[in-house]
Structure 1
Amino acid sequence: MKTMGYAAQSADTPLAPFAFERRALRPNDVAMEILYCGICHSDLHQARNDWGWTVYPIVPGHEIVGRVTEVGSAVARYKPGDAVAVGCMVDSCQQCDQCRKGEEQLCRQGNTQTYNSKDRVTGEITYGGYSKHLVVREEFVLRVPDGLDLSRAAPLLCAGITTYSPLRTWNVGPGSRVGVIGLGGLGHMAVKLAAGLGAHVTVLSRTADKQADTLALGADRLLVSTDKEAIKQARSSFDLIVDTVPVKHDLNPYLSLLDVDGTLVLVGQIGPLAEPTTVPLIMGRRRIAGSPIGGIAETQEMLDFCAKKNILPDCEMIRIEQINDAFERMELADVRYRFVIDMASLPAP
């Protein structure tokens, strides 16, 4: 299938139109026309090879919403016209202990990422959602529930599940005390989801200027992390802190805020951190943990939960030709809170 996308040809070239072929349908494949694609911070990192493993050309995009156009002969769950979504992965071994219990993101053989990853059958590099069409294995296609706004749902497929999964892993619910560090694409979803689950939610920020946004998103309060007296008063007051900051930073100011057996879970920074002290960890039986996305079943659960609670990201819609400006603005944190590409702006091949 001939299609069009936007690709980076190297780490220092802007994204530009790119014609390529999607594979012919295998029996268990679903073909879809992409309607909307969210822009994730990891798209920027990968396009610029910040992590050192990018294969060029690269077509980013793993927050994908569209409609089914065709299905393979063995597909039973979907039919043309269905509203569907695809997140950060498009395949896994399906045989290991993790895959069998619905944790495909933790596949022992490594899951196949939606872009910049090797297809398990052919070894070809996968291309992502900054494109007109997508072909995906049926098991990795998600159903968009009725009532969920298609134009705003795309960021749920990464920002949503990345923050929902740790909330579920650590059993957040009514009475839970949750802190959220960072109020960007991930952070604003962590606030909305934790509040939706019934938690008491606090946003942790270095400055007080996020007060209005904090309350508007559904949090109960803002705690200024540079206010030493406020931090002292807040010691041992959180069961879970979700750290969404996507760059190297210092965890030490936050560790004493955890209660006994509390956890600070990292979902933003992939790479080095400033050196933490173990004193509050050992003395308070506190933990630092990490969490990736969730499995397919949990991602579907998250979409259904968001439809039930009417939880959606705050989005700014752009045309595909604005992608490079969006990358620059995202680096400056100049977006509230997630860019989404309207793929109607991408001409058909």
Structure 2
Amino acid sequence: MSNTIRAYAAQQAGEALERYDFDAGALKNDEVEVKVHYCGICHSDLSVIDNEWGFSKYPVVAGHEIIGEIVALGEDCKGLSIGQMVGVGWTAESCQHCNPCIGGHANVCEQAKATIAGHMGGFADKVRAQWQWVIPMPEGVDLAKAGPLLCGGITVFQPLLQHGINASHKVGVIGVGGLGHMALSFFNAWGCEVTAFSSNPDKYEAIKEMGAHQILDSTDPKAFKNAKSSLDLIVSTVNVPLDWNAYLGLLKPQGKLHVVGAVLKPLDIQAFALISGEKGVSGSPTGSPVQLRTMMEFAARKEISPIVEEFAMSDINAAIQHVREGKARYRVVLKNDF
């Protein structure tokens, strides 16, 4: 087995990606090597390429929405086989011995290593990850579209599990984009009554086709007033500051505003907006291995796939620019052509 991995890497913050080969070294006992078939492009990839979050180490090989085929297994790997189709998402490894790890919440392990931070990701012909984080693909999944489910999909699916949401609940989605369009599909299939927030009537028909039962004009104070105390959960997928207190007013008592979009400015929230109705603000980072498996099985059963545009991996810089310019509808997936 060759330890050479062919990839596309950013050598400095914000630069175009260049071809980059590296020696991955010997496969660790608990590692799986996956031949990449498809890899999605996520806004988090751009944040790491640009060092927006301040922890990038160059060269950066991004890409963490990976679908591929197992080509090598370390001797301690369990339950996987050569030739099996699998996926790798945001997390590549965790300690496996802390309380969160042994309690089924390895996604919040303090020693967890992201697939694209201090680790080489999926903009490559192969990728490696700890076996627990290599997710088997169920029968019926569209492999060409499944990659974004492993980051964007689990990001919006996890709040359903975290908050014990069921078909009796009413949920709202802020932002109908790469994350939000998957949230609408998942929440609808979960049996919830789904409200989307949008100020663009030209998108209303498409938003309803994605799974929204109703749409609230996000710029209309009267619409917000009429919908006061009507939602159990609101999931925000946007990365810009909003009038969070207005959204808190839409929650029922004990309702939750759940943040999954990386807003870089502090949330401006009034204490009484929380106190008066025992309301809460929460967040979550993707999901644990068991949550990822649960999501993929649910997506396969309900035939949930993101809406994607496909590029060849050799056209990676054009694909990244497409995402940067906000032109993606709604996710971009690279097909390996090494």
In the other structure, the counterpart of 1:239 is 232
Structural RMSD (CA): 1.4
**Pairing 1:180–2:199 present:** no
- Secondary structure, in 3 states, of the residue corresponding to 1:189? helix
CA distance in structure 1 between the partners assigned to 2:321 and 2:278 by the alignment: 41
Q: Letter of the aligned partner of 1:273 in structure 2? A: P
Contact 1:207 1:226 (8 Å CA) reproduced: no
- Secondary structure, in 3 states, of the residue corresponding to 1:190? helix
**Pairing 1:224–2:217 present:** yes
Q: Letter of the aligned partner of 1:288 in structure 2? A: V
CA apart distance, 1:238: 0.4
Q: Letter of the aligned partner of 1:114 in structure 2? A: T
**1:264-291 Cα distance to aligned partner (Å, 9 max, x none):** 0000125223522233222222111111
In the other structure, the counterpart of 1:86 is 88
Structure 1 unmatched runs, 5+: 118-125
**Pairing 1:256–2:249 present:** yes
In the other structure, the counterpart of 2:98 is 96
Q: Tell me whether 318-327 or 10-19 shows the greater mean CA deviation.
A: 318-327
In the other structure, the counterpart of 1:52 is 54
Name which of 280, 284, 289 aligns with 1:287: 280
- Secondary structure, in 3 states, of the residue corresponding to 1:185? coil
Name which of 205, 223, 232 aligns with 2:198: 205
CA spacing shift, 1:16–1:205, aligned 2, 3 Å:
same
In the other structure, the counterpart of 1:120 is none
Contact 1:231 1:257 (8 Å CA) reproduced: yes
In the other structure, the counterpart of 2:289 is 296
**1:311-335 Cα distance to aligned partner (Å, 9 max, x none):** 1111110112332333333233211
- Secondary structure, in 3 states, of the residue corresponding to 1:284? coil
CA spacing shift, 1:231–1:250, aligned 2, 3 Å:
closer
In the superposition, the TM-score normalised over structure 2's length comes to 0.96
In the superposition, the TM-score normalised over structure 1's length comes to 0.93
Structure 2 unmatched runs, 5+: none
CA apart distance, 1:71: 1.6
**Pairing 1:116–2:117 present:** yes
Q: Tell me whether 64-73 or 315-324 shows the greater mean CA deviation.
A: 315-324
**1:18-67 Cα distance to aligned partner (Å, 9 max, x none):** 11122322222221100000111110111011111111110001111100
**1:144-166 Cα distance to aligned partner (Å, 9 max, x none):** 00110110100010001111111
CA distance in structure 2 between the partners assigned to 1:2 and 1:230 by the alignment: 57
CA apart distance, 1:213: 1.6
**Pairing 1:10–2:3 present:** no
Contact 1:22 1:134 (8 Å CA) reproduced: no
CA spacing shift, 1:272–1:218, aligned 2, 3 Å:
same
CA distance in structure 1 between the partners assigned to 2:62 and 2:32 by the alignment: 20
In the other structure, the counterpart of 1:149 is 142
Contact 1:250 1:273 (8 Å CA) reproduced: no
Aligned pairs, number: 336
Name which of 57, 74, 80 aligns with 2:76: 74
- Secondary structure, in 3 states, of the residue corresponding to 2:276? helix
Contact 1:29 1:75 (8 Å CA) reproduced: yes
CA distance in structure 2 between the partners assigned to 1:298 and 1:252 by the alignment: 30
- Secondary structure, in 3 states, of the residue corresponding to 1:35? strand
CA distance in structure 2 between the partners assigned to 1:276 and 1:92 by the alignment: 33
Contact 1:248 1:269 (8 Å CA) reproduced: no
CA distance in structure 2 between the partners assigned to 1:341 and 1:29 by the alignment: 24
CA distance in structure 2 between the partners assigned to 1:286 and 1:208 by the alignment: 31
Name which of 130, 154, 160 aligns with 2:153: 160
CA distance in structure 2 between the partners assigned to 1:102 and 1:274 by the alignment: 29
Would you identify which runs of 4 or more consecutive aligned residues in structure 1 move more than 6 Å? none
In the other structure, the counterpart of 1:42 is 44
Contact 1:159 1:189 (8 Å CA) reproduced: yes
CA distance in structure 2 between the partners assigned to 1:213 and 1:323 by the alignment: 28
- Secondary structure, in 3 states, of the residue corresponding to 2:223? helix
- Secondary structure, in 3 states, of the residue corresponding to 2:262? coil
CA apart distance, 1:12: 3.1
CA distance in structure 2 between the partners assigned to 1:137 and 1:23 by the alignment: 15
How high is the sequence identity, in percent, across the aligned residues?
Answer: 38
- Secondary structure, in 3 states, of the residue corresponding to 2:300? helix
